[in-house]
């Protein structure tokens, strides 16, 4: 069985290796600890993706094993001083949030990230936050693993 942290780390490494041009790829906890939820006028590292284990669900079998269904959120953030449309759509050679969230989906869909877990499957995506120069979107992936009690 793998811990949530081990899977989170494997997902981060997969994203780092598959999405060129990221200025940051880390745990969401690292982003929150370093910058806080509010930007306070500080420029974001952009484009960036952050990964966080969001929840799990257990099912119990009578034969001494448990299955844990796990959900991981990946937050894609882009800041573009040309405005919110450029942040979402990109401009010229600059990546937009829509392109970044698609790159995340492509990099993780069907992957096990070197672990003995069910392949990652996208579940949902949504807008999280945005303003005049920044767009933040999230995509949730599901996996599961089995372990002995």
CA contacts within 13 A on the Cβ side of 83: 1
Q: pLDDT by residue (tens digit) across 16-35?
A: 999 999 999 998 776 665 55
Q: In this structure, what token pair is assigned to residue 86?
A: 């450029």
Q: pLDDT by residue (tens digit) across 83-121?
A: 889 999 988 888 999 999 999 999 999 999 999 999 999
65 neighbors 31 (Cβ within 8 angstroms) = no
Q: How far apart, in whole angstroms, are the C-alpha atoms of residue 143 and residue 49?
A: 19
123 neighbors 145 (Cβ within 8 angstroms) = no
Helix (H, G, I), strand (E, B) or coil at 23: coil
Q: How far apart, in whole angstroms, are the C-alpha atoms of residue 71 and residue 143?
A: 7
Q: How far apart, in whole angstroms, are the C-alpha atoms of residue 39 and residue 46?
A: 13
Is the pTM for the entire model greater than 0.75? yes
pLDDT band at 147, cuts 50/70/90? confident
Nearest to 70 by CA among 26, 102, 25, 117: 117
Helix (H, G, I), strand (E, B) or coil at 35: helix
Query: Length of the chain in residues, anyone?
Result: 149
């Amino acid at each position: 069985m793998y811990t949530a942290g081990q899977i989170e780390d494997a997902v981060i490494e997969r994203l780092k290796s598959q999405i060129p041009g990221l200025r940051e790829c880390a745990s969401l906890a690292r982003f929150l600890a370093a910058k806080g939820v509010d930007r306070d006028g500080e420029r974001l590292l952009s484009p960036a993706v952050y990964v966080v284990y969001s929840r799990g669900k257990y099912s119990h079998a009578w034969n001494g094993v448990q299955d844990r269904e796990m959900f991981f959120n990946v937050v894609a953030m882009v800041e573009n001083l040309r405005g919110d449309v450029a942040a979402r759509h990109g401009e010229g050679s600059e990546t937009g949030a829509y392109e970044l969230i698609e790159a995340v989906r492509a990099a993780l869909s069907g992957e096990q990230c070197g672990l003995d877990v069910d392949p990652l499957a996208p579940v949902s995506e949504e807008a999280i936050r945005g303003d005049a120069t920044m767009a933040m979107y999230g995509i949730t992936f599901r996996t599961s693993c089995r372990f002995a009690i």
